[in-house]
Amino acid sequence: MLIRHLQPSPSVETLRTILRCGSDKPRLHTARFQRFLLHCWLVFSVLGLALGAVAAQTAPLSVKPIAITIDWAVMQPMRTTPTLQVVVNPLLRRGSPIHDAVFSALQQLGADYVRYVPWHPYPKLAVAELEPPANGHTSWDFNLIDPMTLDFFHATEGHSTILNFCTNPAWLYATEKPVSYPADPDTVDWSYTQGKELRDPTCSELAAYDERLVGWYTQGGFTDEAGKRHESGYHFKIPYWEVSNEIDVEHQPTPQQYTACYDAVVSALHKLDPGMKFVGLALAFPERNPNMVEYFLDHSHHRPDIPLDMISYHFYATPTLQQGPDHWQYSFFDQADRLIASMRYIEAVRKRLSPETRTTVDEIGSILPTDWHPDTPYDPGPPIPRIYWNASGALFAYFFIESSKLGINVTGESQLVGFPSQFPSVTMVDWNTDKPNARFEVLRLLHDYTHSGDQIAQTRFTGSDIDALALASNKDKRLLLVNKRNREVPVALPKDFQYADLASVAESTNGSSSVVPWNDSVLTLPPFAVVLLTESPTKPAQQGSSCAELTKLKLENVEIVSAKAVPAGPGNARVNSTQAYANALPAYCRVDGMIARRKGRCRRGVWYRLWRWRT
């Protein structure tokens, strides 16, 4: 405050006049002393200029609110379902300190299309037949795989799911030598996925592995390669089976090879369950693989009667090591925009070649560069700042909004649990405290307040600091807002939402979602906040009790005597004045009380009256 009120430095002549005190002769000021004071003046002048420059950079600017307009006459159907993926790792095993809380959070969320992925860094937790059949013996073993898989089935009961046992046995591929794996199932191993060519190029051996795997969970068991029956007693329903994962990174088949294997797997699994649906591609970098998309979606490249139910691909924002929150506010969303541009192309290809095929972007998130250090995988690395979880949550909400406008069917946040050695920055649950973080709470907010079957209205606003999605149903209207910036952004709300219920996830809410009544025309979005407003059908009456709650506040050196609601109207007096406002004031809470301050050398307490505290 002092910096902003610095006055311009006096001129030299003014200073000389002050020194002379209006006289033609200096009083008690020798030439040497005057030079000393002039030097002091120069020092303080330079200091004042420097402080003024700092103040100009740090003083808050008056920002005009971004006005949002909604055209409820221009609508499109809402088709997008928000969900998440669950990647198998040791912290999901029974006995883990966070196991119960994690699966409870998943069950309470109640999401559809949850993706379950036993992944290759933990071969014993992902592969049911680690050794090739030999001499009439097989190595089928579900003892480590079953507990987590059963917990997943129970936590998602009653909801559609997508299962992806993408880690194929390494012996199915042609490699120079047998691929080893850790004896300890909890030891991470990033080298298990090897080989590009299947040892059986017809894919029959691969399809038979998947058929037995699915039979274990859906048909009560299976008969192995040696003719031995393995009984499980399980008869679960698998709504969707995804064929392979990130094929452009892991085994890198050609479009022809992948399409042939997809057909072989689908044909085998359809024998077990004709109602099962399938997901294809699962590309890590769809923008780099247009030939794969074009080839796979062309029905002429598939066997007759092979369905193309759904395609999938992934997106992660990846900042550089030097970037922090003030860079993430641009790099995260710029990278998302580049993929969204590619999605428009992919959607055009899909609609042209296979319009009945649906789309899921089933891995969406951000990965910090400090996550990847395979030589020291358990090194926790530097602490992840709390604002990061909000930035990543805002990224997912932004991607969800833009995907909804494109008609994407499913958007899946990645992933339920990550931790050191398993991409800690993608976790949605704190691996130390078992508490959901802001990324999980953003998904919860989207799941609770957006629904396939809603109608999307056209929104307009200027700039790129925010994103917005207006939704309507036969029950209510809702407005989803995302602050893409690491600073507060004021928004001028449409009249429909000036009286509303406000749900938000922001750093100030400590990563959790809160719901409060809202009554104002301008909403200031906290940094990286995700906010959802649900219109109130009627203007709410003033609630005196809510103001009365302020008397319960406990503040140091403050005694609150009374608090009451003051209704809107022209009769309200100005603060610290008896003059009435010319225009009507909004309603506010008037708080009367006393504040203690220290005064004088004896430090005696002095009480000052608080006239008004507007809230």
pLDDT in tens, 142-191: 999 999 999 999 999 999 999 999 999 999 999 999 999 999 999 999 99
pLDDT at 600 over 60: no
Give residue 75's pLDDT.
96
Per-residue pLDDT of 424-438, as tens digits, reads 999 999 999 999 999
Give yes or no for residue 610 having a pLDDT over 60: no
Helix (H) or strand (E) holding 347: helix 325-353
CATH topology of domain 79-449: TIM Barrel (3.20.20)
**Confidence band, pLDDT 50/70/90 cuts, at residue 1:** very low
What CA–CA distances, in Å, run from 528 to 149, 152, 388, 493, 506? 35, 31, 9, 18, 7
Residue 565 above 70 pLDDT? Answer: no
Is residue 603 scored above 80 in pLDDT?
no
* Whether 278 contacts 310, CB under 8 Å: yes
Burial of 430-444, coded b for 16+ CB within 10 Å and e otherwise, reads bbeebebbbbbbbbb
Q: How high is the mean pLDDT of the chain?
A: 85
- Does residue 225 carry a pLDDT above 90? yes
Quick one: which of 436, 438, 332 has its CA closest to 385? 438
**Which residues, 6 or more positions from 501, have their beta carbon under 8 angstroms from its beta carbon?**
515, 516, 517, 518, 533, 534, 536
**Mean pLDDT (whole number) for 349-354:** 98
The predicted model scores a pTM of: 0.79
Which band of pLDDT confidence, cut at 50, 70 and 90, is reported for residue 51? very low
Q: How confident is the model at residue 546 (pLDDT cuts 50, 70, 90)?
A: low
What band does 559 get if pLDDT is binned at 50, 70 and 90? confident
The residue with greater pLDDT, 517 or 40, is 517
Q: What is the model's pLDDT at position 35?
A: 61
Share of the chain above pLDDT 70, in %: 77
Say which residue the tokens 């080989």 belong to: 195
CA quadruple 361, 363, 365, 368: dihedral positive or negative? negative
Candidates 341, 397, 342, 337; CA nearest to 365 is 397
pLDDT tens-place string over residues 249-304: 999 999 999 999 999 999 999 999 999 999 999 999 999 999 999 999 999 999 99
Instruction: Give the pLDDT band of residue 571 (cuts 50, 70, 90).
Output: very low
Task: Please give the pLDDT value at position 331.
Answer: 97
According to the model, what pLDDT value does residue 570 have?
41
Contact status, residue 359 vs residue 281, Cβ threshold 8 Å: no
* Mean pLDDT lowest among 60-69, 376-385, 453-462, 508-517: 508-517
Categorize the per-residue pLDDT at 105 as very low, low, confident or very high, splitting at 50, 70 and 90: very high
Q: Of 37-51, 84-98, 570-584, where does the model show the most confidence?
A: 84-98
- Top pLDDT among 485 and 1 is at 485
On the question of pLDDT at 544 being above 80, the answer is no
pLDDT category of residue 539 using cuts at 50, 70 and 90: low
Higher pLDDT, 380 or 571: 380
pLDDT at 54 over 80: no
User: Cα–Cα distance between 394 and 336 in angstroms, integer?
Assistant: 12
On whether the CB atoms of residues 565 and 546 are closer than 8 A, the answer is yes
Give the pLDDT confidence score for residue 375 in this predicted structure: 82
Range with the largest mean pLDDT of 19-23, 474-478, 547-551: 474-478
Q: Compute CA distances 365 → 40, 385, 548, whole Å.
A: 57, 16, 43
Q: What is the pLDDT of residues 443-467, one digit of tens each?
A: 999 999 999 999 999 999 999 999 9
Half-sphere exposure of 409 (CA within 13 A, CB side): 16
Q: Which residues contact 95 (CB under 8 A, 6 or more apart)?
A: none
Q: Count Cβ atoms below 10 Å from residue 311 Cβ, excluding itself.
A: 25
Q: Does domain 69-73+455-535 match CATH 2.60.40.1180?
A: yes
What are φ and ψ of residue 396, in 5° steps? Answer: -65, -40
Strand partners, 162: 115, 240
Q: What is the mean pLDDT of residues 349-364?
A: 98
Torsion over CA: 583, 588, 594, 595 (sign): negative
- pLDDT number for residue 276: 98
Q: What is the pLDDT of residue 15?
A: 36
Residues of the chain with CATH 2.60.40.1180: 69-73+455-535
pLDDT band at 521 (very low <50, low <70, confident <90, very high): very high
The first and second tokens of residue 482, run together, are 């995302």
- The band of 33, judged by pLDDT with boundaries at 50, 70 and 90, is low
What lies within 8 Å, CB to CB, of 414 at 6+ separation is 84, 85, 87, 314, 316, 362, 363, 364, 365, 426
pLDDT of residue 557: 67
